[in-house]
Amino acid sequence: MGAVVTTYLELTDPAKIRPAKRNDAEIARVDPPDGAVNRAFYERIGADYGWIDHRGRDAAWWQAHAERVETWVIPHAGYYELDADGGDVEIAYFGLLPAFHGRGLGGALLEHALRRGFELGARVWVHTCTLDGPYALSNYTARGMVPYRVER
């Protein structure tokens, strides 16, 4: 395996969101926040992609985290977290469980994340790396996000 490459992408104009082919996905906000939901998706999705930063955190940490971010899910399939900080909104975590790859749900979920992000701020950004799913970067650019920094 070569060096890990991290790509940072952004979108600064909601008119530049490119719609997903699929728009029938059931996407619901986790409200009230539930740290167990965030933890379950993080651990199950991240298991294949080296998401280890929050492994071993306790339930109290996860609950505090869930209360700080906004979490949306496609029930039993995938999720995203938005972390709003002033005018910037980070898609902090985004992913689908492997059984749901290739069904167009990732595009629908990302379009939803971008539209919701622009309700919260003026810029939506995310970072992905070569350890993430093989379609992560292409999904972000397909929805209109533009790379602004690459790190090796």
Region for 138 from its dihedrals, namely left if φ exceeds 0, alpha if ψ lies in -120 to 50, beta otherwise:
alpha
Q: What pairs with residue 95 in β-bridges?
A: 79
pLDDT of residue 1: 57
Decide: helix, strand or coil at residue 74.
strand
pLDDT along the chain (152 residues), means of 10: 89 97 93 98 92 93 98 97 94 95 94 98 96 90 97 94
Give the predicted TM-score (pTM) of the model: 0.95
What the chain holds in terms of domains, given with CATH numbers, is: 6-151 (3.40.630.30)
